């Protein structure tokens, strides 16, 4: 086994590699940007070296800096993780040229699969079926438009370089082709430095299915079965699972054999994924599944394969890189149950998935399942790197149980004030079509109206907010409201502001399972994977201020006056806001108890008041 490894990556994949390497007795070395100097993976590594800068180009993409750190640390090997330089043949060459072991695919294999058009031509020559389309060198707009017409609309335009869904466009009609082609080229040039494209037939009910393959230096190649990655948004994977729903044994055998043949055709070594597109309009059939591309690295979704096979793929990588044979033969591998992985992102689905950044003032991830994450409470989510906060990974005896487990896990996510897609993931996991295995890459688009709408609180959650605001939950009202049941008082239409909208609490026999916290002055309830910020814009009389019979409004607790919205002698209406008191990091509005005249107003903005102090007195108007 290798003595040490430098991880040329960050976040959850760096932690993932550290975990296995440490179990194997290896010394682990991290490299980091200035932004990541206090990150979890840096703290967990045995040693850490700064790369400087903030952007990927200044840090994790700088080959010279990484090799200098490797030399200084006297490491035996370099593991690139995924993303960044993991599929960069020049980096692999540089690592090996420095006398270090490269924990990845051979540079020749990376180059062979680096361009989609060249990879498809190679696969065609090896007898591997590919999606019908155009792979020609002529990149003229007129030629491409003519080829698209031959293929038949709709067609897919794809950048020949790179991956991750960038540089891809679905074109529905000929008149749209020139503009979509230009946009695809611009995106490809910016992302990969190469604006060449290929064309493919657009599949009506596409399923994205990939096969995990592994090769060693002795020519042995095995597969570890397939994964289904069809749950996508804009070609970005959201939920992955293994095995693929609806895959029968005969189709699986044919597909996996094709993947092994593809890997052997390029003398593959290490972990790789052969990706296929399937026309599932009539179910999964071997003659309707075509090669799409090969990723010459470990995949983000590798944990679902680990869960169903019981194997540690990072350990396999390290052992193969050290010159060992594959740990198991093909006949030793089998599928056990079903696994699913949901990618928890720092983004807001209700605003078009805009990324969300900032400090994680509160972070609670579900317990009892596998969590791969690069963040802890108090960490900063920056805009420089991928927005993935964590991967929620479940494993159960069958797919229905796995989906239910994933739904519960997503519902338990608590994040504040950064937005996340936890509620969206929960809704997908509970959707009847998803549970039934009716998935394809258009699933989210078809269900967008239901899945992407901003969550609205139900009456029970509004009641829970009122309970917290009124401090009527027994013991500590700012801790968990764990399904508390009992005699809940009549809220008398208490107004409650939740996520900026006004609701009225109604009497409830119980409040739902929820957790409430005061975070930086905000009362935040967590339920259903959503954070609900709760305020009392006009608090009920017996909660906001104690009213004497003569109209005197007294402070219910010590606090500071932050706003005075009236003045002595002015006429007011019942319910009109007069004074706002800040107490316990929350604002409490003091409202007029009836129509009348402000007869006394002894407080001013900024005043500190004690409990029971007179805030305002309203006298009934004399007619």
Query: Would you name the residues annotated as active-site residues?
Result: 297
Q: State both tokens at 78.
A: 């370099």
573-605 CB burial, b ≥16 within 10 A, e <16: eeebbbbbbebeebbbbbbbbeebbbeebebee
Q: How far apart are CA 63 and CA 100, in angstroms?
A: 14
430-462 CB burial, b ≥16 within 10 A, e <16: bbeebbeeebbbebbeeeeeebbeebebeebbb
Q: State both tokens at 139.
A: 């990149």
Backbone phi and psi for residue 617, each to the nearest 5 degrees, phi listed first: -125, 130
Residues 6 or more apart whose Cβ sits within 8 Å of residue 281: 204, 205
Q: State both tokens at 239.
A: 């939920």
Residue pair 556/548 in contact (Cβ under 8 Å)? The answer is: no
491-502 CB burial, b ≥16 within 10 A, e <16: beebbbbbbeee
Question: Among 546, 549, 530, 525, which residue's Cα sits nearest to residue 590?
Answer: 546
Residue pair 303/239 in contact (Cβ under 8 Å)? The answer is: no
Residue pair 191/235 in contact (Cβ under 8 Å)? The answer is: no
Supply the DSSP string of 291-348, one letter for each residue. Answer: EEEEE-S--TTHHHHHHHH---HHHHHHHHHTTPPPSS-GGG----SEEEEEEEESEE
User: Quick check: bond before 358 cis, omega within 30?
Assistant: no
Q: State both tokens at 37.
A: 């100097």
């Amino acid at each position: 086994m290798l003595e040490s490894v430098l991880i040329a990556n960050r976040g959850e994949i760096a932690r993932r590699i550290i975990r296995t390497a440490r179990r194997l007795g290896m010394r682990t070395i991290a490299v980091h940007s200035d932004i990541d100097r206090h990150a979890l993976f840096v703290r967990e590594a045995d040693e850490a070296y700064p790369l400087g800068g903030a952007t990927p180009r200044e840090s994790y993409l700088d080959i010279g800096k990484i090799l200098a750190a490797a030399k200084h640390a006297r490491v035996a090997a370099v593991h690139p993780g995924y993303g960044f330089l993991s599929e960069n043949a020049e980096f692999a060459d540089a690592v090996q040229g420095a006398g270090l072991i490269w924990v990845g695919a051979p540079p020749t294999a990376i180059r062979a699969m680096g361009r989609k058009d060249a990879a498809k031509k190679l696969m065609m020559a090896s007898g591997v079926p590919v999606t019908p389309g155009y792979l020609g060198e002529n990149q003229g707009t007129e030629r491409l438009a003519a080829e698209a017409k031959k293929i038949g609309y709709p067609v897919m335009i794809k950048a020949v370089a790179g991956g991750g869904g960038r540089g891809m466009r679905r074109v529905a009609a000929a008149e749209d082709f020139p503009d979509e082609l230009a946009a695809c080229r611009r995106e490809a040039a910016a992302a990969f430095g190469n604006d060449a494209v290929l064309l493919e037939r657009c599949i009506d009910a596409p399923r994205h299915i990939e096969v995990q393959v592994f090769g060693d230096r002795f020519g042995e190649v095995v597969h570890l079965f397939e994964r289904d990655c069809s749950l996508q948004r804009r070609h970005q994977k959201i939920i992955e699972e293994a095995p693929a729903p609806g895959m029968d044994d005969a189709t699986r055998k044919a597909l996996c054999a094709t993947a092994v043949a593809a890997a052997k055709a390029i003398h593959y070594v290490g972990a790789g994924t052969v990706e296929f597109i399937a026309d599932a309009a009539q179910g999964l059939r071997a003659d309707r599944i075509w090669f799409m591309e090969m990723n010459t690295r470990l995949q983000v979704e590798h944990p679902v394969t680990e869960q169903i096979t019981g194997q540690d793929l990072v350990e396999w990588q390290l052992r193969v890189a050290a010159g060992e044979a594959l740990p198991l033969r093909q006949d030793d591998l089998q599928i056990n149950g079903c696994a699913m992985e949901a990618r928890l992102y720092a983004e807001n689905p209700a605003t078009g998935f805009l990324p969300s950044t900032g400090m994680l003032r509160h972070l609670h991830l579900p317990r009892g399942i596998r969590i791969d994450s690069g963040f802890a409470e108090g960490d900063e989510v920056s805009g420089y790197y991928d927005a993935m906060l964590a991967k929620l990974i479940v494993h159960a005896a069958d797919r229905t149980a796995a989906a239910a487990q994933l739904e519960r896990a997503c519902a338990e996510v608590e994040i504040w004030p950064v937005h996340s897609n936890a509620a969206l993931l929960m809704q997908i996991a509970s959707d009847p079509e998803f549970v039934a295995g009716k998935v394809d890459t258009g699933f989210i688009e078809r269900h967008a109206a239901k899945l992407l709408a901003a969550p609205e609180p139900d009456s029970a959650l509004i009641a829970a907010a009122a309970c917290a605001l009124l401090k009527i939950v027994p013991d500590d009202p700012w801790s968990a409201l764990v399904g508390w049941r009992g005699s809940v008082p009549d809220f008398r239409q208490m107004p409650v502001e939740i996520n900026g909208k006004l609701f009225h609490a109604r009497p409830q026999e119980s409040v739902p399972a929820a957790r409430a916290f005061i975070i930086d002055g905000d009362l935040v309830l967590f339920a259903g994977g959503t954070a609900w910020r709760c305020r009392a814009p006009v608090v009920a009389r017996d909660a906001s201020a104690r009213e004497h019979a003569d109209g005197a409004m007294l402070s219910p607790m010590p606090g500071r006056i932050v706003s005075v919205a009236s003045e002595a002698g002015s006429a007011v209406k019942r319910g009109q806001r007069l004074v706002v008191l800040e107490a316990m990091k929350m604002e409490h509005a003091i409202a007029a108890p009836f129509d009348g005249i402000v007869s006394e107003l002894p407080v001013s903005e900024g005043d500190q008041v004690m409990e029971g102090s007179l805030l305002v007195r309203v006298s009934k108007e004399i007619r």
